[in-house]
Amino acid sequence: MTTHRIVVGVDGSIQSRQALRWASQLAAATGDTLRAVTAWEFPATYGWAACPADWNPERDAARVLAETVTDALGDRPPVTVEQVVREGNAAKTLIDESRFATLVVVGSRGHGGVAGVLLGSVSAKVAEYASCPALVVHGETVPEENTSRKEGLVEAG
């Protein structure tokens, strides 16, 4: 069951801000809802680490998500934005979210070559395993404000 939703992965990085801008422009052109998703996990450590007693990773992730959405899209986004915080691995979370989306958008940090092969990459995993089309935003290019819809294709700039 696909809904009229574009899912975008958000982690607070410059790349995720760019992915948000692209996803917002595409959602405005298609009439889809924008679903901004962030995932969090407890850090893997050797042995027990002393975490501050008041540390709430879900709250911190929600704050980063809200700040990133506002920074990328302003106080009045041009589309409806659902902000979703989920516990778990980022790639798996986005792949799960893609089951009900028309498109999933992620930023790429550009870790290619050996680093990408050894460490894995959220964008590579999403592109390979998503249940819907995936858009990986590269570089520092951001969409122009005058994005138009022409014969079913979205043009930027």
The pLDDT tens digits of the residues spanning 65-122 come to: 999 999 999 999 989 999 999 999 999 999 999 999 999 999 987 655 554 443 348 9
Q: Quick count: other Cβ atoms within 10 Å of Cβ 72?
A: 23
Per-residue pLDDT for 152 more than 50? no
Residue 2: phi and psi, rounded to 5, are: -90, 135
Distance CA 18, CA 15 (A): 5
Residue with the larger pLDDT of the pair 12 and 44: 12
- What is the reported pLDDT for 76? 92
Q: Quick count: other Cβ atoms within 10 Å of Cβ 13?
A: 14
